[in-house]
Structure 1
Amino acid sequence: MKRVITIIIVVVVILAAIFYILNNNKKKAQETTDFIAKGSGAVAVKAANVERKEVNLDFTANGNFAPQQELNFLSENAGRVTKIYVSEGDRVSKGQVLARIDAEIINTDRETAEAAYQNAVKDEARYQSSYATGGVTQQQLDQAKLATQNAKLRLQASQRRLSDANIKSPINGIVNKKYIEVGAFVTAQGTQLFELVDVSKLKLKVNVNEGQVANLKNGDAVQIQSSVFPTEKFSGKVTFIASKADETLNFPIEIEVANNTKSSLKAGMYGTAVFKFPKQAPAILVPRTSFVGSVSSNEVYVLNKSKNTAETRKVVSGRILGDNVEILEGLKEGETVITSGQINLTEGTPVTIIK
């Protein structure tokens, strides 16, 4: 009971402290506003002219190259490694034998499965003959057929395991790492054998903001630059655009990049994607800081030049273009919007412009 009372007292004290701090901050802000109003008769603000400017949608984004395909190759059968035919850095093709596992036990299993299957086939033939003369029932014949089918499946599985004794590359690529040596024992639970990567094509992974992602679509051509190879030209195309922003409110983008014949680019290198767009028609732009609160409020303060006062204005915002926002309705060229100090303003507040 005492513990509960103590907790309640602590909570009450914390809430009281928070209320005191907030109330004190509010008083200080009000004192500052009153001081400005009494001292000069107007609130000091910054402002910007409303202008029609050319819209440039081009932008760049930095990221890292990743392999088009990357595979950690695992064992499927248990056995001892008897041969390794490749080394780290070797280029391999799909279906090429990389290593071989001792197939003695696997081959024995296959021979046993083969014998069982042949025996099941013979039994089924005898049951079929006996069924024709009434010697066995339909149920017994069906069981014999089922036994033959099961034996056939076991034989196919053992043949597959025997084939897998030759470890073959499932992709075209390069042996980036080799995890086994001759004489090593691998298990059927998935011992790591090789790391294979395909760098004939790479993926450049970059992040873009909401204003930029709105202008992108799959298949868009992108110029790629690498600081390591500044004289070489690379091209790519957008292959993936995230449908959801990440925790930083950016959207992950993947660009497929065709590597050159020398395979100059390596996975893990830095790259720059240069996004270029057709020339846009001029539009009315204002600084992003002009909005009261945020762009979504669609409200700004406009300077009444004849009275030197602030007036609220509802606008319709369009695209966010870096530090500027496109205005579709509500403002005209030549007007002046207030870009700072809005927290101290209300409708009709006298203002003075800071140059």
Structure 2
Amino acid sequence: MKKIFIWGGLTVLAVAVIMWKLGANKKENETKTEFVKKSNTGEVPVLVQKVARQDFSQGFSANGNFEPVRELTYLAETSGRITDLYVEEGSHVKPGQVVARIDDEILGTDLENYKISMDQLRVDKERYESAFKTGGVTEKQVDDIRVQYEQAVTRYEAASRRIRDTRVKAPIQGVINARYVEKGAYLRAGDKMFDIVDVSRLKLAVSVPEAQVVHLQEGHKVKVTANVFPEVTYEGRITFIAAKGDNTLNYPVEMEVTNVSGKPLKAGMYGSAHFEMPQSAPMMLIPRTAFTGGVNSNQVYVLAGDSAKLRKVIAGRIYGDQVEIREGLKEGETVITSGQINLVDGAKVTVQTPAS
């Protein structure tokens, strides 16, 4: 029984100590809070900005890499040994320019044989057609000789095409970016011969957010700059706007860029497209730094006399370091843009002049 009384007394004593400690902590916290308020009174330096509606251009820039508008890998259209190569990597070529020759000796012999056969069948066809008028041959014999002649013509034209293919011609204007063959090498139809890149015109591919892409149209002109020639402004024209965006709600946009003589851009270089957007109606904008804990908090401090008052607002779109305010502020009010970390609602403040 004595132990029960002892343990009961200890329990009551422990509970009393805990309750006292909690009360002491609460009082200490209240004292600290009051001390912070009093210590901040008239001493918290802040920077401020007047709230006003202002015209705001929604122009923006997007970055990407330049790519050639036209490029292709030329594949051999006939088989044979390369007898001549007229271009090197870096050579400029024009459409129709002969860049290589393939041995056509055997093909030339075949072409001559096909021509002899075709000429003979043409004579036979004319003879049969004349004989048919006098009843010397049947209509079927005339039809058969006509079919044979037409087949001979087809064989001759195909052989002529193979002869022409031995003179390899550039299909587009551009630069030989890579050469995969050498003189004397044996080609098979379909083998790679050259990569040709046309850099007289380039395209710049960028990603545009959904809020801006709705204002763009194909054909619109765009100012384009490049890091390698920052003093030059190139002219671009929008040629493609994706119908579907990616998972981040950005839409691929391509524009064709005309190169400038003397300061030509190359495929793979880094560039920026500067989109000029229509002027929007005046909107209320405040700095991002005015928000406590970030824009998503939707809370700012408003200057009321010499005190800071916490205000709930509704933020809209973000434009760089400026945030649109849809509700919660009025023109003429003053928001605190720096020093909020030391503020509590109702704290006294001293407005500082920003350093120049």
Identify the TM-score tier after normalising by the shorter chain: 0.5 to 0.7
Cα 1:276–1:124 shift into 2, 3 Å: same
Cα contact 2:283–2:324 (8 A) shared by 1:
no
**Most deviating of 231-240 and 90-99:** 231-240
Partners of 1:238 and 1:152 lie apart in 2 by 49
Partners of 1:247 and 1:156 lie apart in 2 by 54
Residue 143 of structure 1, CA deviation:
2.6
Q: Aligned letter for 1:177?
A: A
Cα contact 1:199–1:263 (8 A) shared by 2:
no
What CA deviation, in whole Å up to 9, does each residue of 1:211-261 have, x standing for no partner? Answer: 111011112111111112222222211111112223543211111111111
Within a 5 Å distance, the mapping from 1:1-355 to structure 2 comes to 52-188=53-189, 190-262=190-262, 264-283=264-283, 334=330
CA RMSD of aligned residues (A): 3.7
Residue 154 of structure 1, CA deviation:
1.8
Cα contact 2:224–2:271 (8 A) shared by 1:
yes
Q: How many residue pairs end up in the alignment? A: 273
Partners of 1:238 and 1:154 lie apart in 2 by 48
Cα contact 2:73–2:193 (8 A) shared by 1:
yes
Partners of 2:286 and 2:201 lie apart in 1 by 42
What CA deviation, in whole Å up to 9, does each residue of 1:314-337 have, x standing for no partner? Answer: xxx9x886786797xxx68649xx
Larger radius of gyration: 2
Cα contact 2:76–2:188 (8 A) shared by 1:
yes
Does the residue aligned with 1:153 lie in a helix, a strand or coil? helix
Partners of 1:218 and 1:177 lie apart in 2 by 33
Cα contact 1:320–1:326 (8 A) shared by 2:
no
Q: Structure 2 unaligned segments of length 5 or more: list them.
A: 1-50, 288-297, 300-311, 332-343, 348-356
Q: Aligned letter for 2:275?
A: F
Does the residue aligned with 2:68 lie in a helix, a strand or coil? strand
What CA deviation, in whole Å up to 9, does each residue of 1:5-35 have, x standing for no partner? Answer: xxxxxxxxxxxxxxxxxxxxxxxxxxxxxxx
Moved >6 Å (runs of 4+) = 284-287, 319-323, 352-355
**Most deviating of 175-184 and 143-152:** 143-152
Does the residue aligned with 1:252 lie in a helix, a strand or coil? strand
Partners of 2:125 and 2:214 lie apart in 1 by 67
Cα 1:278–1:249 shift into 2, 3 Å: closer
Does the residue aligned with 1:176 lie in a helix, a strand or coil? strand
What CA deviation, in whole Å up to 9, does each residue of 1:266-307 have, x standing for no partner? Answer: 1011101111124222146799xxxxxxxxxxxxx99xxxxx
What CA deviation, in whole Å up to 9, does each residue of 1:32-67 have, x standing for no partner? Answer: xxxxxxxxxxxxxxxxxx975534211110001001
Does the residue aligned with 2:141 lie in a helix, a strand or coil? helix
Q: Structure 1 unaligned segments of length 5 or more: list them.
A: 1-49, 288-300, 303-310, 336-351
Does the residue aligned with 1:144 lie in a helix, a strand or coil? helix
Residue 120 of structure 1, CA deviation:
1.9
Q: Aligned letter for 1:203?
A: K
Cα contact 1:60–1:272 (8 A) shared by 2:
yes
Residue 164 of structure 1, CA deviation:
1.5
Does the residue aligned with 2:84 lie in a helix, a strand or coil? strand
TM-score in terms of structure 2 length: 0.66
Cα 1:227–1:141 shift into 2, 3 Å: same
Does the residue aligned with 2:67 lie in a helix, a strand or coil? strand
Partners of 1:89 and 1:55 lie apart in 2 by 48
Cα contact 1:51–1:333 (8 A) shared by 2:
no
Partners of 1:260 and 1:103 lie apart in 2 by 42
TM-score in terms of structure 1 length: 0.66
Paired position in structure 2 for 1:25: none
Cα 1:136–1:280 shift into 2, 3 Å: same
**Percentage of identical aligned residues:** 43
Residue 264 of structure 1, CA deviation:
2.5
Partners of 1:57 and 1:211 lie apart in 2 by 10
Cα contact 1:80–1:102 (8 A) shared by 2:
yes
Cα contact 1:101–1:165 (8 A) shared by 2:
yes
Does the residue aligned with 1:77 lie in a helix, a strand or coil? coil
